[in-house]
Amino acid sequence: ALQDEEGGLNPESLKYLNRLSDLLFVLARRLAESETEWRGTGRRR
């Protein structure tokens, strides 16, 4: 999986994880809804 026979990280696995994280980031940004900003009542205690 992530480690090759020499004990290091498999470059192909790292490429895959990097592309997957890019895809998930783009999907999250695309599906995100805008947030409503809470402004309170305007009074301070």
How much is the pTM?
0.57
3-state SS, residue 3? strand
Give mean pLDDT, residues 27-35.
87
* 35: its two tokens: 């947030």
The pLDDT of residue 33 is 81
Highest mean pLDDT among 6-10, 20-24, 32-36, 40-44: 20-24
User: How many residues appear in the chain?
Assistant: 45
Residue partners of 9: CB distance under 8 A and separation at least 6? 2, 3
Domains of the chain, by residue range, sit at 1-32
Per the listing, tokens 């999250």 go with 28
Residue type, 41: T
